């Protein structure tokens, strides 16, 4: 097989032909759908006269092709594996093609496919080429008019982008609807849905007084699960008007829920398509975390209408232009409507675990990559989350007012265009008058910058000297790195008063919570008039996506945990303190020495539990230990067993010593108020459930009784799921087995709840987890063709059950690679994602390295999709 070839950013050339209008007609049949496309084309005036017309097309059966009504002769075009070339087209013409496709056979879930008898599409990034021959690139923008024809009985609902303009009956029990989308758009935003769907409808009046109809389309049994998504949509629309001055532009906005979907959701113009897991909620089937995730994703897709659709990307190297900005926007929205500090803590905890790992591994890439083989592999934490951190830094650097002016300028200047990251940053530079040239390195350099900080208090001169040194490690293809412009928000916390001291730097006052700018490799900052010895609180709010080290004493961290005025850094001080204790325990475990709990950690936790008055949501975060994955990320070499044992030991020690406090905390936060996904209730539930986790760590009778009662009370899914997880993850199969059975029987009809049932079982720490995975893969509710099922079972096992996935005998690795090999044929995009944990082999001991590499080699020996090929080649490079 010929090796897939990379695409390079520097090879970008504008399209030779522009499409001004597209007319599409779909005759829907499962095995043979007929797609007629009528493209209005024009040669780009800058291009050569004999420039051929290149159209992308994959897995299409061409039935006819004509220019301006004249069928093309065989020598006028060339048909290949990946497209079609028309050799000497006129300057301005109409191209008509007819192709046949087979939605029923489409298990990759890109292009047009069938999910539960319902037709739907996923075109981003390059799925439209599986629907028809087209210049499938985001810088070709056209208006679309789409006629969908289907069986009236089984497909009563026929949807596409824009507004419905005509509908009618056809012979043979068929009917049609024609949709017009007046906004020029790239093909990746095309969407079609046809099925037996029901809708929930609402209205929104925009700031200029236009009425918009809002619809959420679902299968009938899900009609009761749309309230939260609808409320989230209306809040998002209002927030984008108030915060960014952005108004919705069509008369109709639709969301459709589908069961088989590779990602969370997709922002198709006027017709967002959602993974049902990312839109459906009910107090009895979804947890608080799911309610919040749905709210965030609904907002994200809605916000794309401006940051993505009205202004889109010139090419896929610019993906973070729309994704980084839109994630930043959805994070700010969620912070505004929920607890802002908790939102930041959750996002950063996730970022430092998962994005740091990606950036340190073989698939590390810049926020704006230079090349790719398969763009589907680049919907990554780096493009999305690091991209959002970079936009957040920009916003903080120029200040909100200038950022908003820059955003207005960007939307105004580039409306209806496909642009680049430079265009975006240039608007921010223009609006703020700042020079952002050094800042651009954030987009081009991969790897997590490391900052070593060192500070000294000079009593005699009342000065504090802070030295920062930055270094970005080499990443694949980038050995040399330039110093970055890194904004560091900080305070100096007085050790006597516990208050932030005024910051005086070079005679300039930065207030008590200020930002210093690190631009050189090393810089020393001299703060003057520092009246007492301070402890520095650095990188407040995680002001830059870096790894910052400072030689804190444990007492200093306990002090910051108690006193820092920045809620985020209080939490972070607690995490750092726990990490120091965990490091000792990991070493003790490795050396076979008896483990001793650091009393300073116990006292710091006791103080948290006793002090009261804290925001409950933040307190719950502060009481949560770093995850095994995060601990692993902080170790030079990952010792899976030692990490697991050390973390368990800390949990049990804290639980044993502070048992009564946790019990009191639990009881204080029990409530039988009717469930609402509101901040105060969510905070209460998470605090109560953190307490229950500690109590269950020692598995005494009282804790077991509480967990069992919470499970049986069946008050809401957050509490039920947490209790079931604790019972299932306990050492007591007599508790786990009946609870799992009851839950599984009760929810056998609900696919999204069954996903949770799978995850709970395969993440248990007991050594039978791997056998359970195998066993559950044969369960009737499981299917390799459904990405949610794969993620809930195999993905959860490989990513959330470290102790069992990394079994010393390599059986966990073998199981994963077996699934990857099968999925490589069925769904390459999901296969390429699923293999990720194996690509991190460098982080483990030699024996595990050999086992993991052995599995990667075994995968490499298969006939691979470009997706899996690219990841495997990088992992074994």
Q: Give the binding range for Zn ion (CB under 5 A) out of 318-326, 425-433, 446-454, 672-680.
A: 318-326
Query: Token pair for residue 626?
Result: 């770093």
Least Cβ distance, residue 269 to ligand ARG (angstroms): 12
Q: Considering the candidates 27, 98, 295, 301, report the single residue annotated as catalytic.
A: 301
Least Cβ distance, residue 586 to ligand ARG (angstroms): 37
454 binds, among ligand ARG, Zn ion, none (CB under 5 to 8 A by kind): none
Least Cβ distance, residue 89 to ligand ARG (angstroms): 30
* Cβ neighbourhood burial of 691 (10 Å; 0-12, 13-18, 19+): buried
124 binds, among ligand ARG, Zn ion, none (CB under 5 to 8 A by kind): ligand ARG
Least Cβ distance, residue 372 to Zn ion (angstroms): 18
232 binds, among ligand ARG, Zn ion, none (CB under 5 to 8 A by kind): none
Strands 157-160 and 192-195, bridge-based pairing: antiparallel
Residues 475-534 that bind ligand ARG (CB under 6 A): none
Q: Give the binding range for Zn ion (CB under 5 A) out of 161-169, 231-239, 317-325, 365-373.
A: 317-325
Query: Which strands form 192-195's sheet, in the order they lie side by side?
Result: 111-115, 118-122, 192-195, 157-160
Query: Half-sphere exposure (CA, 13 Å, Cβ side) for 105?
Result: 10
CA–CA separation, 51 vs 600, rounded Å? 73
346 binds ligand ARG (CB under 6 A): no
Least Cβ distance, residue 127 to ligand ARG (angstroms): 7
User: Binding-site residue total for Zn ion (CB under 5 A)?
Assistant: 2
265 binds, among Zn ion, ligand ARG, none (CB under 5 to 8 A by kind): ligand ARG
Query: Half-sphere exposure (CA, 13 Å, Cβ side) for 716?
Result: 24
Closer CB to ligand ARG, 271 or 723, in the complex: 271
What count of other Cβ atoms lies within 10 Å of the Cβ of residue 435?
9
321 binds ligand ARG (CB under 6 A): no
866 binds, among Zn ion, ligand ARG, none (CB under 5 to 8 A by kind): none
Closer CB to ligand ARG, 301 or 598, in the complex: 301
298 binds, among ligand ARG, Zn ion, none (CB under 5 to 8 A by kind): none
125 binds, among ligand ARG, Zn ion, none (CB under 5 to 8 A by kind): ligand ARG
379 binds, among ligand ARG, Zn ion, none (CB under 5 to 8 A by kind): ligand ARG
List 125, 177, 548, 654, residue binding ligand ARG (CB under 6 A): 125
Instruction: Supply φ then ψ for residue 203, to 5 degrees.
Output: -135, 155
Closer CB to Zn ion, 110 or 323, in the complex: 323
323 binds ligand ARG (CB under 6 A): yes
Instruction: Supply φ then ψ for residue 779, to 5 degrees.
Output: -65, 140
124 binds ligand ARG (CB under 6 A): yes
What count of other Cβ atoms lies within 10 Å of the Cβ of residue 729?
18
Least Cβ distance, residue 354 to Zn ion (angstroms): 17
Strands 83-86 and 163-170, bridge-based pairing: unpaired
Q: What is the dihedral of CA 369, 370, 373, 379, to 10 degrees?
A: 10
Least Cβ distance, residue 770 to Zn ion (angstroms): 35
| 712 has catalytic annotation | no
CA–CA separation, 322 vs 329, rounded Å? 10
> What single string gives the DSSP state of each residue in 435-466?
--TGGGHHHH--S--EEEEEEEEETTTTEEEE
Query: Which residue of this chain has its Cβ atom nearest to ligand ARG in the complex?
Result: 379
CA–CA separation, 807 vs 23, rounded Å? 55
Least Cβ distance, residue 256 to Zn ion (angstroms): 17
List 53, 60, 212, 266, residue binding ligand ARG (CB under 6 A): 266
Least Cβ distance, residue 254 to Zn ion (angstroms): 17
543 binds, among ligand ARG, Zn ion, none (CB under 5 to 8 A by kind): none
List 301, 330, 347, 628, residue binding ligand ARG (CB under 6 A): 301
Q: Give the binding range for ligand ARG (CB under 6 A) out of 140-148, 265-273, 534-542, 564-572.
A: 265-273
**Residue 540's closest CA among 491, 506, 576, 587?**
491
Q: Give the binding range for ligand ARG (CB under 6 A) out of 46-54, 262-270, 398-406, 567-575.
A: 262-270
Least Cβ distance, residue 712 to ligand ARG (angstroms): 39
Q: Give the binding range for ligand ARG (CB under 6 A) out of 140-148, 229-237, 258-266, 534-542.
A: 258-266
CA–CA separation, 725 vs 765, rounded Å? 11
**Residue 190's closest CA among 121, 238, 251, 258?**
121
271 binds ligand ARG (CB under 6 A): no
Classified as helix, coil or strand, 762 is: helix
Residues 359-398 that bind ligand ARG (CB under 6 A): 376, 379
**DSSP assignment letter at 793:** I
265 binds ligand ARG (CB under 6 A): yes
- CB within 8 Å of 83: residues ≥ 6 apart: 54, 55, 56, 57, 58, 129, 133
Closer CB to ligand ARG, 124 or 564, in the complex: 124
646 binds ligand ARG (CB under 6 A): no
Instruction: Supply φ then ψ for residue 92, to 5 degrees.
Output: -145, 125
263 binds ligand ARG (CB under 6 A): yes
Q: Which stretches of 199-252 are DSSP H helices?
A: 227-244
Q: Give the binding range for ligand ARG (CB under 6 A) out of 16-24, 263-271, 616-624, 835-843.
A: 263-271
The kind and range of the H/E element at 98 are strand 92-101
773 binds ligand ARG (CB under 6 A): no
Q: Give the binding range for ligand ARG (CB under 6 A) out of 111-119, 261-269, 651-659, 809-817.
A: 261-269
> What single string gives the DSSP state of each residue in 580-635?
HHHHHHHHHHHHTPPP---HHHHHHHHHHHHH--S-HHHHHHHTSPPPHHHHHHTS
Closer CB to ligand ARG, 266 or 601, in the complex: 266
Least Cβ distance, residue 431 to Zn ion (angstroms): 24
Cβ 322 vs Cβ 310: under 8 Å:
no
- CB within 8 Å of 323: residues ≥ 6 apart: 308, 379, 383, 384, 387, 388
In total, the chain counts a number of residues equal to: 877
Query: Token pair for residue 69?
Result: 């009504």
Q: Give the binding range for ligand ARG (CB under 6 A) out of 264-272, 394-402, 811-819, 864-872.
A: 264-272
CA–CA separation, 422 vs 368, rounded Å? 10
Active site residues: 301
* Site residues (vs Zn ion, CB under 5 A): 323, 326
* Site residues (vs ligand ARG, CB under 6 A): 124-125, 262-263, 265-267, 300-301, 323, 376, 379
């Amino acid at each position: 097989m010929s090796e897939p070839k990379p695409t390079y950013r520097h090879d970008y050339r504008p399209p030779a032909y522009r499409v001004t209008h597209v007319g599409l007609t779909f005759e829907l049949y499962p095995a043979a759908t007929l797609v007629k496309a009528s493209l209005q084309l024009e040669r780009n005036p800058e291009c050569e006269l004999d420039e051929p017309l290149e159209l992308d097309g994959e897995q299409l059966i061409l039935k006819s092709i004509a220019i301006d009504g004249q069928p093309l002769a065989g020598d006028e075009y060339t048909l290949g594996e990946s497209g079609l070339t028309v050799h000497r087209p006129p300057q301005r013409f109409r191209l008509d093609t007819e192709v046949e496709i087979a939605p029923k056979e489409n298990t990759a879930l890109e292009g047009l496919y069938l999910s539960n008898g319902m037709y739907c599409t996923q075109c981003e990034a390059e799925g439209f080429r599986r629907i028809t021959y087209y210049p499938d690139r985001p810088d070709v923008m056209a208006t679309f008019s789409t006629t969908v024809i289907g069986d009236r009985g089984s497909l009563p609902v026929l949807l596409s982008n824009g507004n419905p303009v005509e509908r009618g009956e056809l012979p043979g029990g068929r009917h049609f609807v024609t949709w017009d989308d007046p906004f020029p758009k790239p093909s990746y935003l095309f969407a079609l849905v046809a099925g037996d769907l029901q809708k929930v409808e609402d209205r929104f009046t925009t700031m200029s007084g236009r009425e918009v109809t809002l619809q959420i389309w679902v299968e009938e049994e899900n009609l009761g699960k749309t309230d939260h998504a609808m409320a989230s949509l209306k809040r998002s629309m209002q927030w984008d008007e108030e915060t960014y001055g952005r108004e919705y532009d069509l008369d109709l906005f639709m969301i459709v829920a589908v069961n088989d979907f590779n990602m969370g959701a997709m922002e198709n113009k006027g017709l967002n398509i959602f993974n049902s897991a990312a839109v459906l909620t009910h107090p009895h089937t979804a947890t608080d975390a799911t309610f919040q995730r749905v709210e965030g994703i609904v907002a994200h897709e809605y916000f794309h209408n401006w940051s993505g659709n009205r202004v889109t990307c010139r090419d896929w190297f610019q993906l973070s232009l729309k994704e980084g900005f839109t994630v930043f926007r959805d994070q700010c929205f969620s912070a505004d409507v929920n607890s802002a500090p908790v939102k930041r803590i959750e996002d950063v905890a996730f970022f430092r675990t998962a994005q740091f790992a990606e950036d340190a591994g073989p698939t590390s890439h810049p926020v704006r990559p230079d090349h790719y083989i398969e763009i589907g592999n680049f919907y990554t934490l780096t493009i999305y989350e690091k991209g959002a951190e970079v936009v957040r830094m920009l916003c903080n650097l120029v200040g909100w007012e200038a950022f908003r002016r820059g955003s207005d300028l960007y939307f105004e200047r580039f409306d209806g265009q496909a642009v680049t990251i430079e265009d975006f940053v240039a608007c921010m530079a223009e609006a703020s008058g700042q020079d952002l040239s050094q800042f651009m390195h954030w987009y081009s350099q991969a790897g997590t910058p490391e900052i070593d900080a060192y500070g000294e208090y000079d009593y005699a001169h009342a000065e504090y000297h802070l030295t920062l040194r930055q270094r970005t490690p080499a990443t694949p293809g980038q050995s040399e790195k330039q110093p970055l412009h890194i904004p560091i928000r900080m305070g100096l916390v007085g050790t006597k008063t516990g208050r932030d001291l005024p910051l005086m730097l070079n005679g300039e006052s930065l207030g008590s919570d200020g930002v210093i700018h690190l631009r050189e490799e090393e810089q020393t900052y001299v703060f003057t008039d520092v009246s007492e010895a301070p402890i520095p609180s650095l990188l407040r709010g995680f002001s830059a996506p870096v790894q910052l080290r400072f030689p804190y004493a444990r007492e200093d961290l306990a002090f910051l945990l108690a006193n820092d005025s920045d809620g985020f850094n209080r939490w972070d001080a607690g995490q750092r303190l726990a990490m120091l204790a965990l490091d000792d325990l990991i070493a003790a475990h490795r050396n076979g020495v008896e483990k001793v709990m650091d009393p300073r950690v116990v006292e710091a936790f006791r103080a948290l539990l006793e002090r009261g008055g804290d925001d409950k949501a933040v307190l719950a975060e502060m009481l949560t230990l770093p995850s095994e994955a995060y601990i692993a990320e902080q170790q030079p070499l990952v010792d899976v067993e030692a990490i697991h044992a050390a973390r368990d030991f800390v949990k049990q020690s804290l639980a044993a010593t502070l048992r009564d406090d946790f019990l009191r905390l639990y009881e204080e936060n029990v409530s039988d108020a009717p469930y609402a996904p509101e901040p105060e209730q969510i905070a209460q539930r998470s605090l109560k459930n953190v307490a229950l986790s500690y109590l269950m760590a020692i598995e005494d009778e009282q804790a077991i009784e509480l967990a069992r009662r919470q499970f049986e009370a069946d008050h809401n899914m957050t509490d039920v799921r947490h209790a079931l997880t604790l019972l299932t993850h306990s050492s007591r199969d007599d508790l786990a087995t009946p609870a799992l059975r009851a839950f599984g029987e009760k929810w056998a009809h609900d696919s999204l709840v069954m996903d949770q049932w799978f995850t709970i079982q395969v993440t248990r720490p007991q050594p039978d987890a791997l056998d359970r995975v195998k066993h559950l893969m044969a369960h009737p509710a499981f299917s390799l063709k459904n990405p949610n099922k794969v993620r809930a079972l195999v993905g959860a096992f490989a990513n959330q059950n470290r102790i069992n996935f990394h079994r010393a005998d390599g059986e966990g690795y073998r199981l994963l690679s077996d699934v990857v090999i099968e999925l490589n044929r069925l769904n390459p995009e999901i296969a390429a994602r699923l293999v990720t944990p194996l690509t991190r082999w460098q982080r483990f001991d030699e024996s595990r390295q050999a086992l993991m590499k052995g599995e990667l080699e075994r995968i490499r020996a298969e006939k691979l999709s470009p997706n899996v090929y690219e990841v495997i080649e990088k992992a074994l490079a």
